[in-house]
Structure 1
């Protein structure tokens, strides 16, 4: 399968009032992005650690009503924070509200403060990854059992770059794989993902879209990341201002390629 180049923006739900976030969603959709993400944390990741912050999935429900065209999702949901069947039912509901525009992004989790302050067991990186592996079949089974069903077969995005365990889970379950790093790292890990795909009997080279975060203008990094196989390119921006100038450059670059 050949994937089109798409541009995403991650509107980080920190250091802003909700009205500012809502305005940023409207501006991003009007700008022409393909996907609008938030993230799944309970406290800011940078800036004032006790600054303003909002919860991920209730926000996605609002975005589902607010937007008309863009896909929406979390980049990414922390698997540890919700029972897997509950998460699947939340995803099914948001997908229906949006008319079939949800991407279910998920990862093993890593931000210790979230766990400590909200009463979750932090465990180890290994235990969190093992739990993600155990929960993915439960999530998919519950998605398949819901009534009404999702509007579409909800794409599952798994974030992370662990070469032995996380990429194996991606190979088994994901429609999209989100990663960070330079083009060389992306290309190397993408090849490892395909090796896992061979092991589990999935053609991940064609069935798993590559997604990557970008922090520089397309003139500086587009050739490298696209050459490494990425087709969903996402810019992150935080509150209170939600500067979309870099996003605008990427949207223009995408349109010039068409």
Structure 2
């Protein structure tokens, strides 16, 4: 895996239990602090909290606003649910957001994070077929091929090769998709299991003829301390994501992890 890349810190702004002006302010403050990447998530209802019918905002519309609001940070969903939108539409939406985010003649900053989907309430209430984990992963595999093919056809083309981030850890399907398509692999896996999963990705790459050494390993900081992060780093992780919930955002936690990032990159 790609071990010579700098450590980067991502913050996932949870789009639940807040107003949009509070989210907008958090985006501004986190970019000012020096966070590298901002994520939201792609759901239609809160995932946790006291009120599971509480305020919640849709992912892609928000990402278009972030593309215009921000100047430096990369951004995306952690992760897009493939089931909710036609594959070619996803490609076009990603390309459009990529262009919106390109400032002063530079490249876009959008990261296309995606996964097979899992939150059944979204499916039931919005009228999508939930299927099984296997059928959803098969759909994701088909969609990734279509998305990449559509990016090659769009006029204008994306400003850069849009990075693909895939979340999940299943060895037979998900990690094979990571080996084939991903620039970033995100999981909650840690310890020896992380080392094992990386070896699985490498084996799939060898089998399918793709060099996976450039894939960035992404992992979570939620409920972890610096010793945990040090171990993830030693095992190859270089992108670290911190969940960030409002409305009472605690920026001191972000500052703590930024200091850890900077020490690793010194």
Normalising by structure 2, we get a TM-score of 0.94
Matched, 1:24 2:26: yes
In 1: Cα distance, 2:160 partner to 2:252 partner:
32
Matched, 1:212 2:219: yes
In 2: Cα distance, 1:235 partner to 1:160 partner:
17
RMSD (CA atoms): 1.1
Per-residue CA distance 1:224-256 (angstroms, 9 max, x = gap) = 110111100000012222323222111111112
- Choose the corresponding residue for 1:93, options 92, 96, 101: 96
- Look up the match of 2:76: 73
Give 1:66 deviation, angstroms: 0.7
In 1: Cα distance, 2:21 partner to 2:194 partner:
36
Count, aligned residues: 257
- Pairs within 5 Å for 1:1-258: 1=2, 2-47=4-49, 48-99=51-102, 100-204=108-212, 206-216=213-223, 218-257=225-264, 258=266
Are the aligned partners of 1:175 and 1:208 in contact in 2 as well (CA < 8 Å)? yes
Per-residue CA distance 1:117-153 (angstroms, 9 max, x = gap) = 0000000000000110111110011111111111111
List runs of 5+ in structure 2 lacking aligned partners. Answer: 103-107
Are the aligned partners of 1:216 and 1:246 in contact in 2 as well (CA < 8 Å)? no
Runs of 4+ residues over 3 Å off in structure 1? none
